[in-house]
Chains A and B, each alone.
Chain A
Amino acid sequence: VSTPLAPGRWDRRRRQALSWAACAVVLVGSLGFGVFGDRTPRTDAERVRALAESVACPTCQGQSVASSNSPAAVNIRNEIARLVDAGRSEEEIVARITTQFEGSSLVPESSGVVGLVWVIPVVATVAAAAGLVAVFRRWSAAERPQPSDADRELVAAYLAGEE
């Protein structure tokens, strides 16, 4: 027996659905912007800054060349600025710096075992999302009240009385 939802309950469900839809739009939009958005540095200063953030300061602990004011970091920033001025590409500049100062790149390699740092977060996120969906579905199915025969008889009697 299908029972129509009361008008107030229908409105609440519709509002909930709209809220979830809005959340989904914001989430997908943010992810899309983060993944596909244009984050290319537009000015030379932005390029220098972005490159400096990808190079480790050779004389510091856990600081990039962008955030350190040690003489070595300042020299490397100057070198990056010179190379940007000279029209070198990002790849050429990073190659130059990492050749001069071995192990100074803060960008993990995209291949080999080190490349797993790019893959693991994505796999973990997808697995977590799938797990959450599965759990929510199970809870939803388990918590949905099933009408008993007595309930059905009561409803049938009520509907018969209405007629």
Chain B
Amino acid sequence: VGVVLVLLVVALALGLGDDGGTASSPLDGKPAPVLAGQTLDGRRFDLADLRGSWVVVNFFSTNCVPCKLEHPELVTFAGRHAGAGDRYVVSVVFDDTPEEVAEFFARQGGDWPVVIDRDGAAAVEWSVTAVPESIIVAPSGVVVTKVKGGVRAEELDRFIDDIEAAAGVSSP
């Protein structure tokens, strides 16, 4: 018991399990579920329109601290690929109001589509139970993995770069 406690304390001290990590999901390796609906700015969004690009589908809430902490990372990631248009971020509101979210984006930045999911249908469709969760969708439209917890821009890029390298695709 003592050894387990010591290991637990060490793990906590090192912050293991704090950051997001990939997790298995019933969606892995399957075509991404439909994600279509109205965005915060009143436009119509359809994930299918982004076929051919990598998409990070990020479920979040402004009430969630890890979501707030990861937001600058998403801003960095989206900004880095804004010109190339090869990798996108799409956010889905989870258990939050559009007003709160609009205020949050106005304050924290970020100009990617934010889909409103009023009745939680998208969250169920994407098997999301808690936020933040990010699902990485390949250009083929297949779900590659799910990241539970906050993401980091560098890790997202490294993850996608590794997959592209393994597949023999060169990054722009």
Which residues of A approach B to under 8 Å, CB–CB?
58-59, 71-72, 74-76, 78-79, 82, 99-102
For B121, give its contact among A72, A78, A102 (CB under 8 Å).
Answer: A78
The closest CB in chain B to the CB of A99 belongs to B26
Q: Which residues of B have CB within 8 Å of A100?
A: 26, 124-125, 127
Chain B residues closer than 8 Å to A76, beta-carbon distance = 120, 124
With both beta carbons as reference points, the residue of chain A lying nearest to B117 in the complex is identified as A75
Give chain B's interface residues, CB within 8 Å of chain A: 26, 61, 94-95, 119-121, 123-125, 127-130
B120 & A75 in contact (Cβ 8 Å cutoff): yes
For B95, what are the chain A residues with a Cβ–Cβ distance below 8 Å? 71, 74
Of the candidates A74, A99, A101, which one forms a contact with B120 in the assembled complex, judged by CB atoms under 8 Å apart?
Answer: A74
A71 to B130 CA separation, bound complex (whole angstroms): 8
Given A71-B94, A99-B26, A100-B26, are A79 and B124 also a contact pair (CB < 8 Å)? yes
**Do residues B26 and A72 form an inter-chain contact, with CB atoms below 8 A?**
no
B123 & A75 in contact (Cβ 8 Å cutoff): yes
Q: Which residue of B lies closest to A57 (CB)?
A: B129
A residues in contact with B127, CB < 8 Å: 100-101
In whole Å, how far is A74's beta carbon from the nearest beta carbon of chain B? Answer: 6
Minimum distance in angstroms from A17 CB to a CB of chain B? 59
Contact (Cβ within 8 A) A78 B119: yes
B128: which A residues are within 8 A, CB to CB?
A: 72
Contact (Cβ within 8 A) B120 A58:
no
Please report the C-alpha to C-alpha distance between residue A101 and residue B130 in the assembled complex, in whole angstroms. Answer: 12
A-B contact pairs, 30 of them (CB 8 A): A58-B129, A59-B129, A59-B130, A71-B61, A71-B95, A71-B120, A71-B123, A71-B130, A72-B128, A72-B129, A72-B130, A74-B120, A75-B119, A75-B120, A75-B121, A75-B123, A75-B124, A76-B120, A78-B120, A78-B124, A79-B120, A79-B121, A79-B124, A82-B121, A99-B26, A100-B26, A100-B125, A100-B127, A101-B129, A102-B26
Question: Lowest 8 A-B CB distances belong to which pairs?
Answer: A75-B120, A71-B95, A72-B129, A58-B129, A79-B124, A78-B119, A100-B127, A75-B123
| Bound Cα distance from A1 to B66, whole angstroms | 91
Shortest C-beta distance, A122 to chain B (Å), equals 34
List chain A residues, Cβ under 8 A from B121: 75, 78-79, 82
In the complex, A58 Cα to B125 Cα: how many Å? 14
Complex Cα spacing A12 to B96, Å: 71
Q: Which residues of A contact B123 (CB under 8 A)?
A: 71-72, 75
B residues in contact with A59, CB < 8 Å:
129-130
